[in-house]
Structure 1
């Protein structure tokens, strides 16, 4: 669903009393890059192990492609019966539904039931019919998810409905691990789950972490570097996976309400305190488009965004001056 259009800049100079260790692993169906700054190598490696264990625990709760998770049980019982879930899973689902509400369905965790009628591998020769597009989203709709706080149950009203946390799960895991490391006294690090990135603290040389932003029209060139201070950053993009019919570009990110692909934007980068929230915003703004997306973000001043159109034009929310961070 996402293409990562940001690159993390890790640059250290000189000697330091701290060490930086990094490990890359495959978790939650994607790539996690875990960076820990600690007093010695052993401590750093042990804490990377703890991060991996926490991500694995979350994956075993919310994955919709592992058959033995609580979310898979919820999906199997769609249209049949409510399923009791852990409070953590219930709260995550609550937050996802809230996100669906504030975006008028541009974000929807029941997108997992969408028929994959759009192909972005070069095999499509014509657009799907309006009837097929409408049918593809008939099982999608957060209004049909019934939550019972008293019993901690989730019920999907329609047979064949599914929910999935592919859009929020990695961000949630990154945030959880950051908070866990801070609670353990680890003062700096990065948890990057397939581009859902939570950072805290500073590099061993005392400088902030920095994220490089690229314009997909000139994707080999970083045009700005933004410092990160206990900040999350997420980019949603569509510069590689798209189709063109009748001169119009259709991205691989699908509008859950209409079933049609997003148009107009090729990249949205969102920065803010939570990777989970930043992920929801970046995906939603891709669907909503520039004007509605910027109007939504205006209500959440803790989050900043950089939007790039299909034509390569750059826009940003008023609370970030992109010119301040542009490279010469």
Structure 2
């Protein structure tokens, strides 16, 4: 399905005319902006729930951060090519799921991308494309096949020295999922965790309507083309319309194919709807690398997953069950 407009997403809130109200707090967590929204009858109760969500997100950051030298992720990276590292079942499961997404996307998604040499610069300092041999060498240590899992011993081993894993492409989504689950278990019937664009929703607005996302042109954010309901699921958008370089008339995005070392081309925005923000986060990035035809076809084979892809010409391609009327 093809249309011609550009997508940017934001949530649209209903009017506060019922006994329950929407309470929201914005703060910096995991190095990014988080917006935590809950529906509650009293502000003091809502603030307590928001505090609980913050504590949970901070716990996850300590577990998966590659910047914290004391984290289990950092220990895995330091032990690459040396020895396996025993980790918590939670981290082991997250890494196993990440490997599963790598297999699903034929390596377009790969948490060992952290091993890549940062040879592409998107700050205006690049004057030429890196040499082919330099690009090839930049991904020599990347490869999810070399992440060795021992379920019985709960260990992770990176086969080659210099390998690293990182959760930049799904960590915030996972944090959003876990914060949502925690709040549901505490009795919060409705809310949104927005982890810097990785959004997960549950329940309904105080007026009984579904949470909705606005489909909007990022160059004209006041003009929404459509509203789409988001019912107990996550929505994530990846974009490169602000971070790219152009050489010889070709546009190169900041999203690098971990298999080749070359930037993805052809797509400027990818939005994914999925049951979990973790999966939506990983797939949104993967679609850039897979390309619109392969990406849409792959999404159409996945139950409960939908996508909206915008190419560099401004044309929009959607998965089978996305209905947009403009």
TM range (shorter): over 0.9
SS at match of 1:226: strand
Q: CA deviation at 1:218?
A: 5.3
1:49-64 alignment runs, 5 A limit:
49-64=51-66
- 1:282 maps to 2:279: no
What's the counterpart of residue 95 of structure 2? 93
Task: Note the C-alpha offset of 1:10.
Answer: 2.0
Question: RMSD in angstroms over aligned alpha carbons?
Answer: 1.3
Counterparts of 2:147 and 2:37, CA distance in 1: 37
Question: How far does the alpha carbon of each residue in 1:23-46 deviate from its partner, in whole angstroms, 9 at most, with x for none?
Answer: 111111111100011121111000
Extract unaligned runs of 5+ from structure 1. Answer: none
Structure 1 residue 273: Cα displacement: 1.0
What is the CA distance between 1:11 and its match in structure 2? Answer: 3.1
Q: Residue 217 of structure 1 contacts residue 312 of structure 1 at CA under 8 Å; is this kept in 2?
A: no
| 2:14–2:206 Cα contact (<8 Å) kept | no
Correspondence for 2:132: 130
- Structure 1 residue 219: deviation in Å? 5.7
Q: Matches of 1:163 and 1:322 in 2, distance apart? A: 38
SS in 1 for 2:214: strand
Supply the distance in 1 between the matched residues of 2:312 and 2:211 (Cα, whole angstroms): 29
Paired with 2:218 and 2:287, the residues of 1 have a C-alpha distance of: 17
Map 1:39-78 → 2, pairs under 5 A: 39-78=41-80
How far has the Cα of 1:116 moved from its partner?
A: 0.9
Displacement, 1:220?
Answer: 5.9
Superposition map of 1:20-31 within 5 A: 20-31=22-33
2:174 corresponds to 1:165: no
CA-to-aligned-CA distance 1:172-220 (integer Å, 9 cap, x gap): 1111111221122111000011111100111112221111123456566
| SS of alignment partner, residue 71 of structure 1 | helix
2:122 counterpart SS class: coil
1:7 maps to 2:29: no
The 1-side partners of 2:116 and 2:99 are apart by 17
**2:177 equivalent among 175, 178, 193:** 175
Correspondent of 2:271 among 259, 269, 272: 269
SS of the equivalent of 1:244 reads strand
Taking the aligned partners of 1:213 and 1:252, their CA distance within structure 2 comes to 23
Q: Superposed, which structure 2 residues align to 1:1-328 within 5 Å?
A: 5-13=8-16, 15-216=17-218, 221-323=223-325, 326=326
Distance, in Å, in 1 between the alignment partners of 2:305 and 2:21 is 31
Q: Give, in whole Å, the separation in 2 of the partners of 1:317 and 1:131.
A: 37
Whole-Å separation in 2 of the counterparts to 1:210 and 1:36:
15
TM-score, with length taken from structure 1 = 0.95
Per the alignment, do residues 138 and 218 of structure 1 end up closer, same or farther by CA in structure 2, a change over 3 Å counting?
Answer: farther
- How many residues get paired? 320
With CA pairs under 8 Å and 6+ residues apart, which has the higher RCO, 1 or 2? 2
TM-score w.r.t. the length of structure 2 is 0.95
Unpaired runs of at least 5, structure 2: 1-6
